[in-house]
Structure 1
């Protein structure tokens, strides 16, 4: 688990251990979770609005669910998954999502349809899954909530600390272009903005800024209300500049390490992908040659992250560090085959060094 962390994604490919390599993996792969009727069987992948429309049918895409998906693709979202909750519980649906280990964002649809208590149950389940899978949950307040009610909804979810750090809440609802007067939750537009931000700027950049294809907001929020509800990320209209996402916070405690979405997602990506890297050495001796190869692979990866501008510092020595060996493992760890890698990353957002501890397995001594 990360003690505190931040960094872009990593997966591993290996031909031989002398050239162990850690490669960046996709960071914005959402799964939209909702009732898609009989058209969707379990969990399916779609890559465009037209494919989503064809897969789910007009009866689904004509409503709020369709508005969310369209908002995602119109804001430069890429391939995503649809997880159908029809005739199964949310927990059963999440169990089906387990088969798709590239999912990094969970977006529950129709969160408030069954009332506040059910919304809280869904929020805890989705946020808990996100926290356990190095992913993020994007939630929304109810359609008729004002700013204080949206803020209070975040507290009413009763998320624990880890769940809160892996969750972001957005408000208000949006009225899409060409969708009549029916508002839709902002989560599709937001997920698209996250994907676009990742592909153009990287995980180190806060996922905020202008969004497209939004006619107007269902609710206007004042500066005073925004200041009083800082746990909520609001969408706001800027005269002459369209609609913008104006917040980039998780639901973590304001004094916590994981207050900013970019820090949390970057940390999750590096931990997730370094864990994949350690799988390549699972059958190797837990000894100096193995440690040297892992250290070299992690160092090369982190240097690339730094050169992309995702970390602080004019020199890589102040941007990150890599530790493995006798200073991260006890004799008992080595004998038991526990391979422990620590990396520290200096985020570009205001923060001190963030430390990620990754534990893998190697051959027992």
Structure 2
């Protein structure tokens, strides 16, 4: 109860009355079957279209060898697992909208893998003629700069085009290019993937092992790539002892004849007479010192002044301040907050490139793992060297799926590192690091190497196998995987509460179908659609159906015929997928109380769409046994012409009655969870009774219940007549509900008699 301890206005929220019950969905299906690829661990995956199924699980399956097909054709424990994708297609063609798929994988299936080495490569980004000495490349990360010897190779065959070439100069920025000491002597192609590498390769060693994300031969079509990328360009900040900044100008031309450099002395007044400083003139940095004054100007002594500078009066002269002293390991970096311990930084003094590893970050002061031999200035930037990983899958039709993961750390254990990111986010591959190895390393002289090596795109190996010929009944039944602790096969469907229709299309194994029925009977929230064995006669299907007695499943006969999407030839497909789609379509259009019968079967051949042509006489033998016929009617097409369960109990004879009760039970269970732990007394009983009655009234008004009044359609009792004193003392609230379902008009009978015309008086 609320407390009122001081005067004022108080607002209270009170319950308005019974809480509404929302009807649960009944059109969501779950299927178990063999696919080309796709997730095999964890919960079933939801797909909402056949296109999404193809993207996630692949397309059609190859037919097995004749020996395997004969073994799987066993009358008791067989099945045509390779028809599963066509059954899924039939589900969506017939109006299905949501399907959970659990992939079945043979215990003999294996993942395709590849081990990557270490090295360095940079792809050529623009074609070059044989007489060209300057070539444009993707990056220079890990290279050492001027004087380095590189080799050039073909991208398609890795054949050597240039065995040795010396780097004469280089440029990094918007365009990265290398100028060699001599022309390449052969044409280079960017489209072919030609690339440069250090001429002296590093010692071979495995670094990262990539494996397909799931078992199967599909993994042989996967390629992986690892390469360094420049994640950030960060400015260097001046050392605290580097002096004040200034910008001035030349007061006279500087040429070969007039070699003295003069600037206004007022602009450099803050520089000491014997102080060395550095200036930037026309893009080059020079060491300078103040010399003699001349009027308002002062002469600058420039170290390494070009013989013929050709500088003009008024050319800008800007002081650049050093960021470090040679040999130092610490310097200031702008944006140091973007760095992290163990990050790799590339330094560039215009002649040499080197990489250092960050060991400490304190504000904007960054400490690296080895001394910096050169002096760097505040007009220069350092490159944060990070990793980029990519995976590419090319399916049988040539369609390509690409994944790219950028800005990764060269660290084997970090959450944002190369290995853990790929392992956690890729849907194509997983990654693991070879024990005891690092992902990047090297020296100032030889340059750096990176995981992934100089191989470029690398295909996963031929060790990825489907193992289709070794599929067993136990693979479909499933259970808890002893290695991962995750459920497989039919057992995995139990984890998805939304599933209301379930099937294992194409599998007629008694063990598999009994497992599916058992799950439906245990959970009591789903209904199974079973396939008979392919090629059965009318007598054969009666014998096949004989062992089953359940109110939670239905069987349909015969198999349906579609045009194969590839060959265009007639192809028999199990009916379960198409029928599950009819269930879903009927639920959405009419409601779960409507029998899923007298409905057109879509997605099959208009003529000869059924493997067996059934007549009324045939159905006279099938219908009493609870075998639902698929029949062709001239002018009406191919239709579902039966709505019976496999139960011997006449109360549960019809599919729609059983599924209506599943709907009612699930909806009431989920809609009354708020009752738990409420005070178990008359006010609660009345509220529960009203809540359930309101829901059943809505169901009755939708046409799902029989009767012309609510009293004829349902009753709800929740009072002392439904609960004993013992029930109340043990915390039990008992509510008794009765409903009158609408049964389908299975036999429509019109009684017609001949009426004799009476004699009329004259």
Verify same fold: TM over 0.5: yes
Q: How far, CA to CA, are the matches of 1:44 and 1:27 in structure 2?
A: 18
Equivalent positions of 1:199-348 (< 5 A) are 199-208=588-597, 209-215=599-605, 216-230=609-623, 231-253=626-648, 255-348=649-742
Q: How far, CA to CA, are the matches of 1:319 and 1:61 in structure 2?
A: 53
Q: How far, CA to CA, are the matches of 1:98 and 1:44 in structure 2?
A: 13
Q: How far, CA to CA, are the matches of 2:744 and 2:562 in structure 1?
A: 35
Partner residue in 1 for 2:19: 20
Partner residue in 2 for 1:6: none
SS of 1:182's partner is strand
User: Relative to structure 1, is the Cα distance of residues 178 and 269 closer, same or farther in structure 2, using a 3 angstrom cutoff?
Assistant: same
Q: How far, CA to CA, are the matches of 2:627 and 2:23 in structure 1?
A: 30
Partner residue in 1 for 2:28: 29
Is the counterpart of residue 109 in structure 1 residue 505 in structure 2? yes
Q: How far, CA to CA, are the matches of 1:44 and 1:257 in structure 2?
A: 35
User: Relative to structure 1, is the Cα distance of residues 350 and 327 closer, same or farther in structure 2, using a 3 angstrom cutoff?
Assistant: farther
Q: How far, CA to CA, are the matches of 2:613 and 2:35 in structure 1?
A: 31
Partner residue in 1 for 2:513: 123
Partner residue in 2 for 1:145: 536
Q: How far, CA to CA, are the matches of 2:543 and 2:636 in structure 1?
A: 30
Aligned length: 325
Q: How far, CA to CA, are the matches of 1:250 and 1:290 in structure 2?
A: 38
The CA deviation at 1:320 is: 0.8
Contact 1:148 1:229 in 2 (8 A): no
Note the alpha carbon deviations across 1:93-121, whole angstroms, 9 max, x for none.
33322221111111012313xxxxxx111
Contact 2:494 2:519 in 1 (8 A): no
SS of 2:573's partner is coil
SS of 2:546's partner is helix
Which structure has the highest strand share of the two? 2
Note the alpha carbon deviations across 1:202-226, whole angstroms, 9 max, x for none.
1221101212121011111222221
Q: How far, CA to CA, are the matches of 2:671 and 2:722 in structure 1?
A: 17
Which structure has the highest helix share of the two? 1
The CA deviation at 1:38 is: 3.8
Q: Which moved more, 1:69-78 or 1:325-334?
A: 325-334
SS of 1:98's partner is helix
Q: CA RMSD in A?
A: 2.0
The CA deviation at 1:61 is: 9.3
Note the alpha carbon deviations across 1:41-87, whole angstroms, 9 max, x for none.
34100001110111111244995111101111011111110012324
Q: Which moved more, 1:138-147 or 1:32-41?
A: 32-41
SS of 1:206's partner is coil
Contact 2:94 2:578 in 1 (8 A): yes
Equivalent positions of 1:147-226 (< 5 A) are 147-156=538-547, 159=548, 161=549, 164-179=550-565, 180-208=569-597, 209-215=599-605, 216-226=609-619
User: Relative to structure 1, is the Cα distance of residues 350 and 49 closer, same or farther in structure 2, using a 3 angstrom cutoff?
Assistant: closer
The CA deviation at 1:19 is: 3.9
Higher relative contact order (CA 8 A, sep 6+): 1
Q: How far, CA to CA, are the matches of 2:727 and 2:706 in structure 1?
A: 33
Is the counterpart of residue 77 in structure 1 residue 96 in structure 2? yes
Contact 2:28 2:99 in 1 (8 A): yes
Contact 2:24 2:666 in 1 (8 A): no
Note the alpha carbon deviations across 1:160-196, whole angstroms, 9 max, x for none.
x5xx100100111111245422100011111111111
Q: Which moved more, 1:45-54 or 1:268-277?
A: 268-277
**Bigger-Rg structure (1/2):** 2
Q: How far, CA to CA, are the matches of 1:16 and 1:191 in structure 2?
A: 41
Q: How far, CA to CA, are the matches of 1:19 and 1:345 in structure 2?
A: 20
Contact 1:324 1:341 in 2 (8 A): yes
Partner residue in 1 for 2:494: 98
Contact 1:312 1:346 in 2 (8 A): yes
Equivalent positions of 1:35-74 (< 5 A) are 35-42=34-41, 43-60=44-61, 63-74=82-93
Q: How far, CA to CA, are the matches of 2:544 and 2:656 in structure 1?
A: 23
The CA deviation at 1:16 is: 5.7
Contact 1:177 1:213 in 2 (8 A): no
Q: TM-score with structure 1 length normalisation?
A: 0.84
SS of 2:680's partner is coil
User: Relative to structure 1, is the Cα distance of residues 91 and 335 closer, same or farther in structure 2, using a 3 angstrom cutoff?
Assistant: farther
Note the alpha carbon deviations across 1:249-296, whole angstroms, 9 max, x for none.
00011x521000010000111112212233211111211111111111
The CA deviation at 1:300 is: 0.7
Q: How far, CA to CA, are the matches of 1:59 and 1:17 in structure 2?
A: 55
